[in-house]
């Protein structure tokens, strides 16, 4: 029994060294930008999403662009509002619709945690953040027609230059 405990003790002592060996200076992450495409009716200006309380908004896709890697892809994208529970999605193009019924009027934080996989680079995690302004609900007497913020009805495409990226 004493021999087994001694081996277990040596194994526990060696474990931190193994972890340090795995975390070498070879941890390099790719350079890339993140393109986020919102639904046509979403108002996005200067990384601030503005939505009336009670209405939903949709992120249609999230993808890497302008990369220095030969090939790059995203793994799971997890959406989080105000440091709450995350909503992961693993299927490209990472579409998600948020309902704002339960959010108070005011400023919130929307973050996307993105798993990054690139050829010849270490696995990494990227974070993209937006402010989410929830405004008073719009009155019911809105006139049908084009959206004042996006009259052409085209999707709002936002490119986040150089997101925060760390080795996984």
Tell me the DSSP string of 68-104.
SSSSEEEEEEEEEETT---EEE-STT--EEEE-TTSP
Of the candidates 51, 32, 31, the residue with the CA atom closest to the CA atom of residue 41: 51
Q: Write the CATH number of the domain with boundaries 38-135.
A: 2.60.40
Per-residue confidence (pLDDT) for residue 132, from 0 to 100: 95
In order along its 168 residues, the chain shows pLDDT tens digits of 556 655 545 445 554 544 444 444 467 888 999 999 999 889 998 889 999 999 999 999 999 999 999 999 999 999 999 988 888 999 999 999 999 998 999 999 999 999 999 999 999 999 999 999 999 987 765 544 444 455 555 656 666 665 667 666
CA 95 to CA 109: how far, in whole Å? Answer: 18
Per-residue confidence (pLDDT) for residue 154, from 0 to 100: 63
Other CB atoms closer than 10 Å to residue 124's CB: what's the count?
A: 21
């Amino acid at each position: 029994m004493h021999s087994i405990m001694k081996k277990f003790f040596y194994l526990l002592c060696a474990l931190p060294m193994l972890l340090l060996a795995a975390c070498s200076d070879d941890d390099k992450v790719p350079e890339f930008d993140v393109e986020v495409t919102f639904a046509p009716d979403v108002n996005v200006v200067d990384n601030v999403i503005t939505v009336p309380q009670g209405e939903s908004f949709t992120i249609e896709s999230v993808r890497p662009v302008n990369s220095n890697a030969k090939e790059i892809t995203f793994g799971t994208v997890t959406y989080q509002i105000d440091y709450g529970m995350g909503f992961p999605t693993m299927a490209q193009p990472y579409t998600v619709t948020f309902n704002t019924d339960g959010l108070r009027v005011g400023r919130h934080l929307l973050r996307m945690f993105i798993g990054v996989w690139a050829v010849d680079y270490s696995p990494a995690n990227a974070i993209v953040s937006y402010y989410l302004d929830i405004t008073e609900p719009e009155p019911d007497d809105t006139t049908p027609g084009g959206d004042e913020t996006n009259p052409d009805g085209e999707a709002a495409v936002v490119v986040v230059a150089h997101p925060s990226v760390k080795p996984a």
